Homo-oligomer: A and B are copies of this chain.
């Protein structure tokens, strides 16, 4: 059994499953966020009351089966923020995993255990889920590669939901080649196969939103990407765009979160750690007219972004505007980080776009990621491009 040096795995018997076959993932070990079902094990969804009110899983999620069938070995289930509704990675019930790359900082969430396990090198890759940034943010914070695939590209059968029209199954890896190889097992062929990606788009709003030190630190990686892709086009964003985008994302997601989990919450009255209960209370109280406006914004915003990217263009920007918050950050500071981050993670979330984050730099000793985003159905091309950027930056291949 792997020694859990960073508190990445959920308490209780370790879910260890040998490969079901041989294939592209022979010899790799992996872990799975504890919102995917593994037959015979409880799915805690990060919350003791959830675990108490749900029986152990009768079946294993098909996406996990696909990994086992391709030769990978499951070594455990990893911690998640309760009901996947938070970005710091804190879990007061199971203990917050250590950020292996910056132990005085949060690991990021909600897929905190998967990011920590990969960051520490306990496994070759780990499954997570990403609704509003839950793979991308912890990957950036822990200095790993990570992908949120095109919405719908990987089946979420056997996984707990938060906001179905936003939810995706994503994954982390320490090496870009492994991130790609997992994609070759889980993803369908690209809709536009063989198409090379370009031109490179630089959404100014997402860069000016970042801490200046982050923007500066990621500049070499952006230039390396530019060398690979060619031509760069600046995309200007109206002032206030990101705040608007965040607020619309928050409202649309909250309405879906309450529609998905409100019945269980009302019936169970679960105990929640800091922040999570408050977010569900806000979701419960969401003005339907506000959520309707958010859905309408989403349709327009998504159409505009998809049109920009339709020909193969790729956007690049800081995955998170800052390194991981310090463990000593106040609730207000955590919330400010959340709002600033989600104005940018909402791009892919609202429009169903694939996004890959590359551990491209460090700021004050803590990792920061560079994100590449393409049109839906170009996930494999995006993974291949991320691997080339990783090579150019001499990251572990």
Contact = CB atoms under 8 A, between A and B. Distances in A.
Given A62-B259, A263-B54, A156 B152 contact: no
Contacts of A62: 255-256, 259, 291, 295
- By CB atoms of chain B within 10 A, which of A60, A157, A260 has the most? A157
Copies in the complex: 2
A213 interface: no
Interface string A150-164: 011001111001011
A11 interface: no
A69 B293 CA distance: 11
Interface string A215-244: 000000000000000000000000000000
Contact of A157 (B59, B60, B61, B260): B260
Given A155-B164, A292-B65, A295-B66, A191 B306 contact: yes
A104 to B, nearest CB: 38
Interface string A315-346: 00000000000000000000000000000000
A165 B158 contact: no
B258 A58 contact: yes
Interface in A33-83: 37, 54-62, 65-66, 69
A130 to B, nearest CB: 16
Interface in A108-163: 151-152, 155-158, 161, 163
Band of interface residues on A: 35 or more
Contacts of A61: 259
Nearest to A253: B157
A242 to B, nearest CB: 22
Contacts of A165: 152, 155-157
Contact of A60 (B259, B265, B306): B259
A5 interface: no
A20 B56 CA distance: 40
Query: Which of A37, A57, A69, A164 counts the most B-chain CB atoms under 10 A from its CB?
Result: A164
A43 to B, nearest CB: 8
A239 B136 CA distance: 47
Interface of A: 20-21, 37, 54-62, 65-66, 69, 151-152, 155-158, 161, 163-165, 188-189, 191, 255-256, 258-260, 262-263, 265-267, 284, 288-289, 291-292, 295, 299, 302-303, 306, 352
Given A58-B265, A62-B259, A158-B260, 9 more contacts: A20-B288, A21-B289, A55-B266, A60-B259, A62-B295, A151-B152, A155-B164, A157-B260, A189-B299
